[in-house]
A and B are shown apart, each in its own frame.
Chain A
């Protein structure tokens, strides 16, 4: 088998987005009839590599070969036509179409006169769901499906393509144990039929269970490729991290003070339920959980951007009016949102304008903004956060992700908040700047700020937080002290069905 050309061969593949190099040197060789694990921390470049294989992005440099033939996909359709099926990390379904239509979109079974054969389509979807062991109605609209069910639809779609190469980017993150087991059975079936499967997961027990070969990536580069049997989980983790954890997460010790933010019984139908917690001055509370568990939605409701159906939010004992961010800001709340380009910055505006955006009323006399005051404020905070911008009138789009994030932080810190909510504070930021952001958050907490930090990066939560709250399917299912929070305890609490079933499956 080793003599035949590998199904997929990548060598030295690179891809940059503006100033950020997402993938420096991606190398991956996948043999037919094998299940190949790809592991690495978030931001290691796995998803970028997958998107290049799937035709979503075009590489800047390097070699991509399918069955020995060099390929250069200009779009997902070409990749699909070449026999590459990809399950992306974020399910991309069409809410207005039915589940069956979503699966067969663009290649619906046709009857007479090239008319869509809905009966065949429905039957096909039912059969796929039976193979996967799930009970989904092919005729219901995709709107309102849970993340897990959306993921199932994606998997069914990819399997029905009958591709020679199936790439799954964290397909199990939202699935229950039984669904995972069924998926593994399907993957093994494909392997035995001589197909190649690439499997990306953060769960090393799954890797050991399912895969035969494992490739480790770190900071956009290939680290190692070994048979799964020949390498221990500890060794894999060491290669994935590749540096001492304490450097990345400089935690300044602080003593928690009074309760500043208190959330009681917060509820929003279909999103989160009975959410209660408190954050003390000087404390960093981590909100951990899987993507889609409802963490960002909770943060948005607390801040007043989204409405909620029941419960209350209080700052310093005073209840906030629901759905009123202005009141929340006045009470001392600040929210650094998940998507800084979309929600955090006016990207076409200057650094000074962005920093002063929320504090403007304070900087104005009789409704007229004083430019000197604005410049002074911007200079103070940019200096304190070491924003690397050519000048304060530089436009935000020209800056790197890390510096943009610092500008957003500066904007909110300039309002003098008591509670800072940060949603994925270091997503898409290079390692060096990451550590700077961490140091800053840690210092602010030590100075008495209450920090609520949402993060999908487990090491970040564990490294930074004094307490960890785990959110699963819209509920807080665990509150762990720093000493008790380990990757295992957090992941077990965060994963649906993990506590009872996941262990056996591995």
Chain B
């Protein structure tokens, strides 16, 4: 198998292809979708926030966990960033961003601690903190809303500015993706995250630092939710207590569509990022092609179910193939004898 066919057979290639088809078809119907300056910008800018969230979520899902509180973490950190601009007017933008990221990491760490130490399923814990974090935001913000006028112009400009035709927020998302993907593939810690998701009991038996890794995964996810909060504030210019409501479902959907197995152990953050881009691009493409509102949601739903079904089919086919290989390897009792001859 050459490197090219290996690349093409990867799950990510399929998603990238689907993305290209969606863009291609929509552009054929409505050239402005891609070929106008606004179309190009929207194509790159719209998925930026979801990509950052999907990358963080993918790391958590790979460990056979999930963090449903990302929407609430985003809302809370976005409001925190806005509040800082109002209350401490001279604070540099970088410091505000760092504070929001750190706050997100702490929120994620709370989730991770409960999951790692109390051994309660992440689904339940983070469903709880989803409401708790949202409740904190509601109490803190009340009916208050932070508007574009409250935030520095330089900060808001980040939401729309482009460098060499690429929006700044997209660059941020791309850098996050590259760094995390590099870590997951090339570091010991990254491979251990896969191992933990693949078989948590075996990971304990092997003496892997399971708790520390889980804490790290949740903290990273929280930090990225914090970064996404800052990006949200810059992009939309208004933050209320309801920022990011319901976003968690989109994030988990993107991760699943991107080929990260919900039972952990397999998939890549690149796939999750592509899944996020595919979901949002389809969302924007459907009205352009003239598909009614109701069907737009149905298509997204079908996409998620289709992705999961595809995963099951592929997994079953693979295990069947591996099992069949074993059968042909060792036809009954003659197997070991064959192997003896095969070894030099």
Contacts and interface: CB of A to CB of B under 8 A. Distances in A.
B318 interface: yes
B185 to A, nearest CB: 8
Given A101-B191, A473-B332, A143 B206 contact: no
A144 B317 CA distance: 12
A77 to B, nearest CB: 3
A77 B209 CA distance: 8
Nearest to A95: B198
Contacts of B266: 96
Interface in A443-484: 472-473, 475, 477
Contact of B208 (A77, A143, A176, A271): A77
A475 B332 CA distance: 7
A250 to B, nearest CB: 35
B336 A97 contact: no
B340 A55 contact: no
A220 B189 CA distance: 39
B199 A92 contact: yes
A47 B295 CA distance: 59
A55 B207 CA distance: 9
Given A472-B333, A496-B335, A271 B206 contact: no
A56 interface: yes
Interface stretch (A31-39, A108-116, A320-328, A423-431): A108-116
B199 A94 contact: yes
A114 B188 CA distance: 9
Contacts of A143: 318-319, 322
A110 B339 CA distance: 33
Interface string A133-151: 1110000010111100000
Interface residues of A, number: 48
A270 B186 CA distance: 33
Contacts, number: 131
A78 interface: yes
B316 to A, nearest CB: 11
A477 B204 CA distance: 37
Nearest to A107: B188
Nearest to A98: B191
Contact of A94 (B195, B207, B322, B330): B195
A4 B327 CA distance: 50
Interface string A255-279: 0000000000000011101000000
Contacts of A141: 322
A105 interface: yes
Given A114-B188, A270-B324, 15 more contacts: A55-B207, A76-B206, A77-B207, A92-B206, A96-B198, A97-B198, A101-B191, A105-B206, A106-B206, A116-B188, A135-B339, A176-B336, A473-B333, A496-B335, A497-B337
4 closest A-B pairs by beta carbon, nearest first, are A270-B323, A144-B322, A77-B207, A76-B207
Interface of B: 186-188, 191-192, 194-195, 197-199, 201-209, 265-266, 318-327, 329-330, 332-333, 335-337, 339-340, 342-343
27 contacts: A55-B207, A92-B199, A96-B266, A97-B191, A97-B194, A105-B208, A106-B188, A106-B192, A108-B191, A115-B187, A116-B188, A116-B191, A135-B343, A146-B326, A146-B329, A146-B330, A177-B340, A178-B343, A269-B323, A270-B322, A270-B324, A270-B326, A270-B327, A472-B333, A473-B330, A473-B335, A497-B337
